[in-house]
Amino acid sequence: MTLIFTFIQQAIGQGIAILFGATGEIMTEKSGNLNLGIPGIMYMGGIAGLMGAFFYENHAKEPVAAIGFVVALLSTLIVSMFGGLIYSFLTISLRSNQNVVGLALTTFGVGFGNFFGGSISKMAGGVGQISVKTTAGAFRASIPGLSQIPVIGPLLFSYGILTYVALILALATTFILFRTRRGLHLRAVGESPATADAAGIDVTKYKYAATVGGAAIAGLGGLYFVMEYLGGTWSNNGFGDRGWLAVALVILALWNPAHAIWGSLVFGALYILYIYLPGLTRATQELVKMLPYVVTIIVLIITSKRNKPENQPPASLGTVYFREER
């Protein structure tokens, strides 16, 4: 029984970073921008938050948890939005190829993370020596009282604040996309920019807003990873391929952030399943690690067979919009 509890807790811990990434990517993709730079942006967001906290804690005589929290949060948001802005400027304003820009941004972002991660590790005195205990403590603090309830407490209320932010953001993004005027306009932009343009919607503005906003949300996934999951430290390439899992989760969730919530749990569970399955050899472990991707492929096959238009990617996804080409 406790094993199952631990498994679920661990799965949630794995899933939240992916959920942030997927929510951000869904918002971006709904504007027709296929931002494959999201994995890189998550690295950038993570390292930025860590650096913010690190420099604050190193310079303040007595670091205050709340200030460290705000500094880390702002650093993450600014840097990841900057990543989104680079992508937007290149693909929307300069009309470069989205795939090329996205992949370049991911390569850049991973390098950015590892470079600064390595640098501050050196400043801190060696690999694994970074510690921003005070700030990480603020991120890790669980809800007092509620988390003490037996069974339900550890299962539902034992997580840091970003876990709940991830859930709220996913639900709020769903609401904005499907229930508000701006959401309707954004979906229209992603489906057919020419039609949206003719209806008087500012296509460029919506694309920029969704892409930069989406990058900010995805960046929080990186922050979650370094603060809550790792507890305020850095290991090079430690974030692994979670960013790509986030991109895959977008497909599994059929471009609906609310679906991404349970999807992230499934992905999180499959991601760590190999630890809990007895009798796996090193080789079979690797096979089990493939499961999230296998599930994504199966979902792709099923949805393309059923061919329901709502479950398809936004029609203009991956293409740049030229008004003159009408």
Partner 1 sequence: MSTPAIELKNVTKRFGSVIANDNVNLTLEQGEILSILGENGSGKTTLMNMLSGIYYPDEGQIFVGGREVSIQSPKDSFELGIGMIHQHFKLIDVLSAAENIILGLQGEEILKMQEVYAKINELTAKYGFDLDPKEKIYNMSVSQKQTVEIVKVLYRGADMLILDEPTAVLTPQEIQKLFTVLRNMRQAGKSIIIITHKLNEVMELSDRVAVLRKGRYIGCVETAKTSISELTEMMVGEKISLDIHRSQPQDAHKRIEMRGITVRNKEGVRMLNKASFVANSGEILGIAGVAGSGQKELLEAIAGLQETETGGEILYYAPTGETLKLTEMTAENIRNLGIHLSFVPEDRLGMGLVGSMDLTDNMMIRSYRETGHFFAHRKAPRELAEQIVEKLDVVTPGVDTPISHLSGGNVQKMLVGREIAAQPIVLMVAYPVRGLDINSSYTIYNLLNEQKEKGVAVICVGEDIDVLLALCDRIMVMSGGNITGVVDAKSTTKEEIGLMMTGATKEKADHES
Residue 306 makes CB contacts below 8 A (sequence gap 6+) with none
The nearest distance, CB 209 to partner 1, in angstroms, is 14
The nearest distance, CB 295 to partner 1, in angstroms, is 24
Are the C-beta atoms of residues 277 and 306 closer than 8 Å to each other?
no
The nearest distance, CB 30 to partner 1, in angstroms, is 11
Q: Pick the piece of the chain touching partner 1 (CB under 8 A) from 76-84, 190-198, 219-227, 246-254.
A: 190-198
Rounded distance, CA 89 to CA 84, Å? 9
Task: Candidates 187, 207, 242, 259: give the one binding partner 1 (CB under 8 A).
Answer: 187
Are the C-beta atoms of residues 191 and 198 closer than 8 Å to each other?
no
Which phi and psi angles does 98 have, rounded to 5°?
Answer: -65, -40
The nearest distance, CB 28 to partner 1, in angstroms, is 18
Residue 36 makes CB contacts below 8 A (sequence gap 6+) with 98, 99, 102, 103, 105, 106, 247
Binders of partner 1 among residues 13 to 42 (CB under 8 A) are: none
Nearer to partner 1, 107 or 304 (CB): 304
DSSP 8-state secondary structure symbol assigned to residue 60: S
Q: Is 61 in the site for partner 1 (CB under 8 A)?
A: no
Rounded distance, CA 326 to CA 323, Å? 6
Q: Is 209 in the site for partner 1 (CB under 8 A)?
A: no
DSSP 8-state secondary structure symbol assigned to residue 230: S
Nearer to partner 1, 62 or 325 (CB): 325
The nearest distance, CB 257 to partner 1, in angstroms, is 17
Q: Following DSSP, what letter does each residue of 266-314 receive, concatenated?
A: HHHHHHHHHHHSTT--HHHHHHHHTHHHHHHHHHHHHHHHH--GGGSPP
Nearer to partner 1, 187 or 259 (CB): 187
Total residues interacting with partner 1, rule: CB under 8 A: 21
Binders of partner 1 among residues 277 to 316 (CB under 8 A) are: 309-310, 312, 315
Coil, helix or strand for 42? helix
Binders of partner 1 among residues 152 to 181 (CB under 8 A) are: 179-181
Count, residues in the chain: 326
Task: Candidates 85, 127, 184, 288: give the one binding partner 1 (CB under 8 A).
Answer: 184
The nearest distance, CB 126 to partner 1, in angstroms, is 52
Residues that bind partner 1 (CB under 8 A): 179-182, 184-185, 187-188, 191-192, 194-196, 198-201, 309-310, 312, 315
